[in-house]
Structure 1
Amino acid sequence: MSAKIVSRRLPENINRIVSRFPEEVQEFFLEMISADRSIQTISNYAYDFALFFEFLAGKNKSIDQVDPMTIKRFFRQIENGYERTVHVKLKKRDPKTGEIKEEWIERKHYRENSHSGKQRKRASLRSLFRYLVKTHVLERDPMEEYEDASLKTRTRQKVPVFLTREEAIRLIRAVHSYHEKQQRNAKKQSWTAARDLAILFMFLNTGLRVSELVNLNLNSIQPDGNLFRVVIIGKGGKERMLKLNGKAVDALLDYLNQRPQENIPEEHKNALFLNKNGGRISRKGVSEIIRKYVREANLPPKAANISPHKLRHTLATLLLSNGENLRVVQEILGHSSIQTTQIYTHVINSEKDKALDRLANIL
C-alpha cells in the first residue's frame, strides 16, 4: 500500500516517515515547507522525530502525555547511539514476467550520537513543542520544563580539522593518480574524473557546504566575459555570489565539456553535478568521492577523516593564514555571525607561534 503524501515538495522517503506522525505534527512540517526551510533541514527533523515517536510508541504514550521525565528518558536511551530506520526504494524484476516493480523496504543502521547530533535533536524537539503550544495543541511545553531542570553540560570548543596547503595539493593530485590506475583497466576514460576534480576545486575555492554543492544547477554558474561566478543558495535561503579562480574555472569547463547529455531523468536535467546514473549527485555520493581520494592521497591520520565540511574548514584556514580579512572570510563562507568565523583564528594565529618560538632564546 502506498504511503500518504504529506507534501509533493518532500522526497518520497521523507513523505513515508512524516505520514506516520500525528496530524498536528504533519502540520508542523507543512509550516516548515511554507517557511522555505531546506529539504535537508526538514529531513533532519523527520529523522529526529521518528526516533522520538518510536520511543513514545514503546512507552504507549501519545504526544499530549509527554512530560519532562519522558524527554529525559528519551535522551538517556539514545545517549551513546541509536538505530535509525531509513526507507529505500528498490527495483526488482519479476522472474516470471520480467516486469520491473518498485518496492519500498526499511533498513536499520546504527549511528553514533555526536555532541552536535544531541544539540540538533534538542533543537528539533524544542521547535516542535513550541509550535504545539503556540497552536494550542498542548497547554504547556515539556521541553522547556525539561531544559530548565537539566544540568547544563560543559561544552568544549574544538579546533576545526583542516588540510594544510600541501595536503590539499596532494588531495587534488590524487584524482589524477587514481584515474590513471583505472584507465589501465578501462577501454575509455571516464567523465567522472573531470567531475570529481571540479567538485574538489569548487569546495577549495568557495568553501560551500555539501548541501549547497549538490543543489547547484547549470544556471548557478554565471559567466561574465572571462570571469565566472557561482550563485550559492545558503542556509535560510540566503544567496551569495562568489568568483571562481582560474583553476576552478578550468576544472569546471573540462567537466561541463564531458558531462553526459543523454539518458538524464527530466527532474535532473538542470543539475550541475551528476552521478553515474545521470541523476543529481547526493550528499552521500560527494562524501564517498572525498573519502576515495583521501585514501589515494595517503594523507596522515589527522587528515584521514576529511569530509566535505572539513574542506570548508580548509578554505577558511588558508584564507586567514594568507592574511585575508575576517569579515571577508565570513562573507565568503556565508556565516550569519562573525563569531562562527572566529573559530578559525585559533589555528592560524602566527603571533602565538612566534611568541613560543622566542622561548628558545631564554630556555
Structure 2
Amino acid sequence: MVKNKLSIHNKSDKPNNIVLKENEIIERCLEIERQLPSFMRDFFLYLKSGVALSTRLAYLEDVLFFCKYLVNESSLTEAPTATAISIEDFNKISAKDINRFLGDYCSRYTMERDEFVKIIENRNRSLARKKSSLSVLFKFLYRDEILEKNITDGFNPIRLPKPQPDAIKRLEIDEVAKMLDFVETGEGFTEKEKVYWEKTKLRDKAIIILFVTYGLRVSELQQLNISSFNFNRGDFRIYRKRSKEVLMPLNKTCEKVIKEYIRNERAPENTVNEADKDALFLSMQNKRMTIRAIRNLVKKYTSLALGTSKNNGYSPHKLRATAATSLIQQGFSIYDVQNLLDHDNVTTTQLYAAHKKNVKREIVKNFEWLDEN
C-alpha cells in the first residue's frame, strides 16, 4: 500500500521538523497498540496523556515484547498472537511469572534474523526499565478493575549500580582545546579524509562548540533550524524532552561560528529540498544531518583528542558531561549548571560537581598523620 504524502498544517509554535519527528513516534505508538490486546485501550489513553512521547513509545515496546513472550515462549496463554491474549490470561499471571520473565528470559535471549541468530544480553539497567513498564501496566489494570489483584509488590528488586563520579566519561579542558585544534587544522586525518574535512570544517566546528558550550542532547542539536536563531536578540530556541520549549542565550563564540558556517559553507537555499531548507546542519547531500551522522562526527573528533581509535571515541552525551564538569570547574554553581542542562534532579548535576581533577590526590596529600620531621 502506497502511503500518501504528508501535508503539515501547523498552527503551533513548533517548527515543522519537530512536528514531523513527533508524528513518526506517534505513528509507531499506534502501530504497536494495534498489535496489543483490546482490553489495554484505556492504558494506551493513560500513556498518551500521562507521560512524555518517548516514554510512551518505550513502555509500549516493552509491553509488546512481554506479550510476544507470553505467546511464543510461555505456557501462560494459548493465544496465537499478542492481540488475542485475553483478560483471563492476564489474571493468571503471577509475580513469579514476571520475575522469571525478567530474570531468566530477558537477561539473555536469541532472535532469528534472516540467515543468522542474534544473541541479546540485557544488563540490569535494561531489565529495570522493562520491570518499570510492566509495573505501570499491571498497576493500571488493577486500578481499572481489569485485574483482580495487584501483583507488582511481588516483583523482585533489580539492583542498579550507584553512579560514581570517577566513572563519568568526559573530556578534560585541555582535551577540548586539542579537539578544537583538530577541527581547525584537519591534523590527524588521512589525505582522503582531508578532502571531506575541507568541505565540512565550519559545520563541524559549529557542532562541536555548541555541544561543549551548552551540553545539548544530540536530538536537540539535530533539530536546530536557521529560524531557531535570533541574532538580533542574541538567543536561540531548542525543544527539550516533553516538547519543552527553551530559549538559550548566544555567546560571541557560538554566534561567530554559526554565522561563518551559514555564510561560507552551508549550501544555498535553492539547492536544498523544501523539507530541509530551514535545517541548520546539512549533510554533503544537502539534507538535514541524521543523529547517527552527528554521533559519528563527534566520535571522530573526540578519538583524535584522546589519541585512540574512532571506535573508542566519545558520544555526544560525553560532550554533555564535558560541558557540565567544565562549567563547575570554572566556578559556576550546580544549580546554574542544572538549569542550563535541564536536569530534572540536582543530584545528577552533583555527580559532575564531585568529579574534580585530582581531588583524591589533594585530599590525601593534605591529610598526613606523621610529620616529615
> Does the pair score TM above 0.5?
yes
Within the alignment, does 1:42 sit opposite 2:56 as a pair?
yes
Q: 1:56 aligns with which of 70, 74, 91?
A: 70
Q: CA deviation at 1:356?
A: 2.0
Q: CA deviation at 1:325?
A: 1.1
Q: Secondary structure at the match of 2:328?
A: helix
Asked whether the equivalents of residues 203 and 311 of structure 1 are also in contact (C-alpha less than 8 Å), the reply is yes
Q: Secondary structure at the match of 1:273?
A: coil
Asked whether the equivalents of residues 210 and 308 of structure 1 are also in contact (C-alpha less than 8 Å), the reply is yes
Question: Counterparts in 2 of 1:10-159, with a 5 A limit?
Answer: 10=25, 15-25=30-40, 28-35=43-50, 37-38=52-53, 40-58=54-72, 59-60=74-75, 61=77, 62=85, 64=90, 65-82=92-109, 111-142=120-151, 144-147=152-155, 150-151=156-157, 153=159, 155-159=161-165
Q: CA deviation at 1:319?
A: 0.8
Q: Which has the higher mean CA deviation after the structures are superposed, 322-331 or 351-360?
A: 351-360
- The total of aligned residue pairs comes to 333
Partner letter of residue 237 of structure 1?
A: S
Distance 1:108 1:45 in 2: 26
Within the alignment, does 1:208 sit opposite 2:223 as a pair?
no
Q: 2:172 aligns with which of 164, 176, 179?
A: 164
Q: CA deviation at 1:239?
A: 3.5
Please state which structure has a larger fraction of its residues in strand.
1
Structure 2 segments unaligned to the other structure (5+ residues): 4-21, 78-84
Give me the TM-score of the superposition, normalised by structure 1.
0.75
Partner of 1:333: 341
Q: Which has the higher mean CA deviation after the structures are superposed, 229-238 or 258-267?
A: 258-267
Asked whether the equivalents of residues 204 and 314 of structure 1 are also in contact (C-alpha less than 8 Å), the reply is yes
Identity %: 26
Structure 1 segments unaligned to the other structure (5+ residues): 87-104
Partner letter of residue 244 of structure 1?
A: L
Q: CA deviation at 1:20?
A: 1.9
Relative distance call for 1:239 and 1:246 in structure 2 (3 A) is same
Relative distance call for 1:267 and 1:138 in structure 2 (3 A) is farther
Asked whether the equivalents of residues 19 and 26 of structure 1 are also in contact (C-alpha less than 8 Å), the reply is no
Partner letter of residue 100 of structure 2?
A: R
Relative distance call for 1:36 and 1:48 in structure 2 (3 A) is closer
Asked whether the equivalents of residues 303 and 314 of structure 2 are also in contact (C-alpha less than 8 Å), the reply is no
The structure with more radius of gyration: 2
Within the alignment, does 1:243 sit opposite 2:249 as a pair?
yes
Distance 2:119 2:239 in 1: 32
Q: CA deviation at 1:338?
A: 1.5
Partner letter of residue 122 of structure 2?
A: N
Partner of 1:259: 266
Give me the TM-score of the superposition, normalised by structure 2.
0.73
Distance 1:276 1:141 in 2: 55
Distance 2:271 2:150 in 1: 51
Relative distance call for 1:249 and 1:297 in structure 2 (3 A) is same
Q: CA deviation at 1:9?
A: 5.3
Post-superposition Cα deviations, 1:296-336, rounded to whole Å, max 9, x if no partner, equal 434369x9452111111111101111111111111111112
Distance 1:46 1:280 in 2: 28
Relative distance call for 1:256 and 1:153 in structure 2 (3 A) is same
CA RMSD between the two structures: 3.8
Q: Secondary structure at the match of 1:335?
A: coil
Distance 2:107 2:129 in 1: 15
